[in-house]
Amino acid sequence: MAGGKMKKDKQKGPRAPSNHYQGGVTFHKSKGQHILKNPMLVDAIVQKAGIKPTDTILEIGPGTGNLTKKLLETGKMVIAVELDPRMVLELQRRFQGTPFSNRLKVIQGDVLKTDLPYFDICVANIPYQISSPLTFKLLFHQPAFRCAIIMFQREFAMRLVAQPGDNLYCRLSVNTQFYARVFHLLKVGKNNFRPPPKVDSSVVRIEPRKPRPEVNHKEWDGFIRICFIRKNKTLGSIFKQKNVLSLLEKNYKTLQALQGSQNVSLSGNDDMEIARLGDESMEMEYGMDDDMDMECDEAEGEGEVSEFKNKVISVLKEGKFEEQRASKLSQESFLTLLSMFNKAGIHFS
């Protein structure tokens, strides 16, 4: 029968390729290569970026240049950072001999390991596995840029903008919003990409705070890391843990010894080598930002340990933080508590 024959012929035919193409370039999902194919969405991203004709634009992960073309039409210059040499070649071919060729600079390399030049605006459709380290690399970039428009996995994006009390509010939320204002712009369905990813995405606008908050960022990160060991536990419970008290007491004694012998002040000292809780950097992936797997036994015993424990708890009680939970505290509250600890000689970096 015709139907059976057609089915048989179809089975014998060549199997459809699993990779997707554009301009002869194969895209690999395993490398996070998902090219934005919806022209209306590309226009919307450029429009929301608020690009000026005098702007230098940093584009991360340009792929084959669909978004790059719109950026070149709008700004003064585009600096594109691309890891895949095949994409770099395709990008150069696409704009070679066009009026845009002199206004496009392509840097081949890993953006996390590349010294970024000056730019006014960053626009990026990035592999989702570098979301956290890239975000913090941009936040600490100098000189500060005006804004970044970045496509993230949707859950990561919602963590960036989460507020105290939200289910997704975590250490990532606090750290990002401490250094920048963050806005959710667009939800982007997976079918807007070629090949489509497994999850939906969101476009987020990040505006670095100017001036940058005057705080030792290692101190701040160490403090926030401890507060979010168990974000729904009370701070009183967290700061009574043996490992937390041991860490803080070690820092306390180290600084007392240094200040006694050298009259050293900790304020703003990024070079001080002091113990930290764990060895993960601020740029660790968001999936481990809160509810970290730590020992939860409270401190026991007498003598100096008990005396130091009382010192820590007295700070929490004085500020009425003992029964508060990190999941519901604002940045202003975290800053207040950190300042109180520091005045008592207790440091986190």
Q: Give the annotated binding-site residues for S-adenosyl-L-methionine.
A: 34, 36, 61, 82, 110, 125
CB 240 within 8 A of CB 313: yes
Read off the DSSP letter of residue 272. -
Instruction: Enter the tokens of residue 276.
Output: 């930290």
Single-letter residue type at 143: P
Q: CB-hemisphere CA count at 13 Å for 199?
A: 12
Token representation of residue 273: 């080598």
Helices and strands in the chain, H and E counts: 12, 11
As a three-state string, the secondary structure of 176-239 is HHHHEEEEEEEEECHHHEECCCCCCEEEEEEEECCCCCCCCHHHHHHHHHHHCCCCCCEHHHHC
**Letter string b/e over residues 146-184, b meaning 16 or more CB atoms within 10 A of that residue's CB:** bbbbbbbbbbbbbbbbbebeeebbbbbbbbbbbbbebee
| Pair 294, 243: CB distance under 8 Å | yes
The residue whose two tokens read 């991360």 is 60
Amino acid at 254: T
Longest dimension (CA), the chain: 96
| Cα distance from N-terminal residue to C-terminal residue, the chain | 77
Q: Which residues are annotated as a binding site?
A: 34, 36, 61, 82, 110, 125
- The span from the CA of 237 to the CA of 323, in Å, is 8
> Phi and psi (nearest 5°) for 178?
-70, -35
